[in-house]
Amino acid sequence: MPPHAISAPAENGTTPPPPAHRDGNVLRWLGAYTASMVGSNVYFVALAWAAARTGSPAQAGLVLAVGSVPRAALMLGGGVVADRFGPRLVVIGSDAARCVFILGMAAVLMFVSPSVWLLAAVALVFGAVDALFLPAVGALPPRITAPGQLVRVQGMSGLATRFANVAGAPIGGLTVAIGGSASAFTAAGVLFAVSLPLLLSVRIGELPGARGEKGDRVAGDEHGQETVGAAEDSPVPHDVIPGPRDGADARRERTEEAGAAPGTPGTSGTEKRTGGADAASTGAGRALLDGLRYIRHHRVLAPLILVSAITQLGFVGPLNIGLVLVSEEHGWGASGLGWIIAAFSAGAAGASLLLTVRGRVPRAGFVMCASTIVGSVAIACIAYAPSVALASVAAVCVGLLAGLGGALSGALVQTQTEPAYLGRVTSVSTLFGLGIAPLVYPVMGAAIGAWGSGPVFVASAALCAAGTTFGLCVKQLRLAELPA
């Protein structure tokens, strides 16, 4: 098998590939992903502790918030980078950068006391690297398994995320207690280092269906864009480089992107270098716009990402700052809040486990929208629950149904997107969840303070339900299916 090949689906009686949860290649990726996610959680504990010990509460909040700025601002550019150089290379490079940077920070903290500005700089750099890491890691699963296994991979990554959320905080707290922030930063860096050899051992390959029988590009399927013929007739822009290039082809493409044909006489080296930087910037901007146009014209991805953005705006406020304020309003205290959060996590883990075992959900588009609508109703019920027990039951339903809808949404994005655009499409879908949606936190807090939790939770639930109802009204999304 070539070094970066992946198993293809069974054809002509050949042996079918193993299911994702028994595929060593997928399990190595899962191990790397889990170690990296736990490391991220340990890092945030270390950063929060160092900020709280160094500055005022307001300054600590500023340090924690400042990292989201480059993450949101650079996320779309990270998608362009993932498409241009390949997600595997970008994931490995960004994970290595996080490892070296955090271990270096740990070494600094062993000799000097951190200042607020130093910690803010750390948060900025880590957020910028995250903007590269997140789109690339989201674009990687379709390249390590067959399309029919992507739902199972979504379930497995969901379980890994839940494990990281549960394990990361205690590991961070324990290492802080043992050796302070330097010890916690060291633990985070070591976890990033553990993920690197696993990532290096993961084999990837071209996605099935990325090319037609004669090498033609395919822009979608029966529910997406029309299948196109030869490259010269394709509406897909020709200047997008779907992955890494090597040797003469790469040099020729870089020369053409710089605005000069190969071998053009009369072009000095200085002129080429001067124009190259401008052309690279222009090329990246053009590639980003091409990706946005691709989403806008795709008959499944356009409504899918819009529905995902609306539902995340509705879910993220109640399930974060909203739960804290509801517990305070009802007098449930920290223990009540803990039970509700644990119930939500259990429901989300149950959804991930269900998808890991089942492997495929028929009528994925319809199930995604329907489960999210029912989960929206459960959100409203949390605010009106008379006891912690009933609020926890509602939280289990939210976790289960929202987790199912989110995993199916991720799988549909990965199977509907043409390989050349996976990084950019992933960056757009990730931007709303990790970049824009958290901006509703202050709005949610102010609204609950003015009108109480009940009306605000109902309004958030109505927003989620409206978004997914729109999705049900779009035929291509409602009928979207996942590969068998």
Q: Picking from 66-70, 275-279, 421-425, 467-471, which range would have the lowest pLDDT averaged per residue?
A: 275-279
Separation between Cα atoms, residue 253 and residue 190, nearest integer Å: 38
**pLDDT tier at 58, thresholds 50, 70, 90:** confident
Query: Given this model, what pLDDT does residue 269 score?
Result: 45
Q: What are the two backbone dihedrals, phi and then psi, of residue 217, each rounded to the nearest 5 degrees?
A: -90, 145
Task: Pick the more confident residue, 244 or 484.
Answer: 484
Separation between Cα atoms, residue 212 and residue 204, nearest integer Å: 19
Task: Using alpha carbons only, give the angle 316, 320, 321 rounded to the nearest 5 degrees.
Answer: 115
**pLDDT tier at 206, thresholds 50, 70, 90:** low
Task: Pick the more confident residue, 290 or 276.
Answer: 290
Query: In sequence order, what are the residues at sequence separation of 6 or more whose Cβ sits closer than 8 angstroms to the Cβ of residue 46?
Result: 172, 175, 176, 181, 184, 185, 187, 188
Separation between Cα atoms, residue 299 and residue 476, nearest integer Å: 6
- What is the average per-residue pLDDT within 214-239? 37
**pLDDT tier at 125, thresholds 50, 70, 90:** very high
Q: What does pTM read for this prediction?
A: 0.74
- What is the average per-residue pLDDT within 125-149? 89
**pLDDT tier at 5, thresholds 50, 70, 90:** very low
Query: Given this model, what pLDDT does residue 81 score?
Result: 93
Task: Pick the more confident residue, 215 or 190.
Answer: 190
Task: Pick the more confident residue, 282 or 474.
Answer: 474
pLDDT tens for residues 245-283?
A: 333 343 344 334 444 444 444 444 443 444 444 555 567
Query: Given this model, what pLDDT does residue 225 score?
Result: 44
**164: which 2 tokens?**
């990281």
Please state the three-class secondary structure of the chain as a single string. CCCCCCCCCCCCCCCCCCCHHHCHHHHHHHHHHHHHHHHHHHHHHHHHHHHHHHCCHHHHHHHHHHCHHHHHHHHHHHHHHHHHHCHHHHHHHHHHHHHHHHHHHHHHHCCCCCCHHHHHHHHHHHHHHHHHHHHHHHHCHHHCCCHHHHHHHHHHHHHHHHHHHHHHHHHHHHHHHHHHHHHHHHHHHHHHHHHHHHHHCCCCCCCCCCECCCCCECCCCCCCCCCCCCHHHCCCCCCCCCCCCCHHHHHHHHHHHCCCCCCCCCCCHHHHHHHHHHHHHHHHHHHHHHHHHHHHHCCCHHHHHHHHHHHHHHHHCHHHHHHHHHHHHHCCHHHHHHHHHHHHHHHHHHHHHHHHHHCCCCCHHHHHHHHHHHHHHHHHHHHHCCCHHHHHHHHHHHHHHHHHHHHHHHHHHHHHCCHHHHHHHHHHHHHHHHHHHHHHHHHHHHHHHHHCHHHHHHHHHHHHHHHHHHHHHCHHHHCCCCCC
96: nearest Cα among 160, 239, 238, 192: 192
312: nearest Cα among 400, 439, 482: 439
- What is the average per-residue pLDDT within 137-149? 87
Q: What is the number of alpha carbons within 13 Å of residue 301 lying toward its C-beta?
A: 26
Instruction: Specify the amino acid at residue 476.
Output: Q
Burial of 391 (0-12, 13-18, 19+ CB in 10 A): buried
As beta bridge partners, residue 211 has 217
**In the predicted model, is pLDDT for residue 445 greater than 50?**
yes
**427: which 2 tokens?**
């960056």
**In the predicted model, is pLDDT for residue 6 greater than 70?**
no
Query: Given this model, what pLDDT does residue 281 score?
Result: 56
Query: Given this model, what pLDDT does residue 103 score?
Result: 95
Query: Given this model, what pLDDT does residue 15 score?
Result: 63
pLDDT tens for residues 296-330?
A: 999 999 999 999 999 988 888 888 788 888 888 89
Query: Given this model, what pLDDT does residue 220 score?
Result: 38
pLDDT tens for residues 79-114?
A: 999 999 989 999 999 999 999 999 999 999 998 888
- What is the average per-residue pLDDT within 34-42? 93
- What is the average per-residue pLDDT within 342-357? 90
Please provide the average confidence, as pLDDT, over all residues in the chain.
80
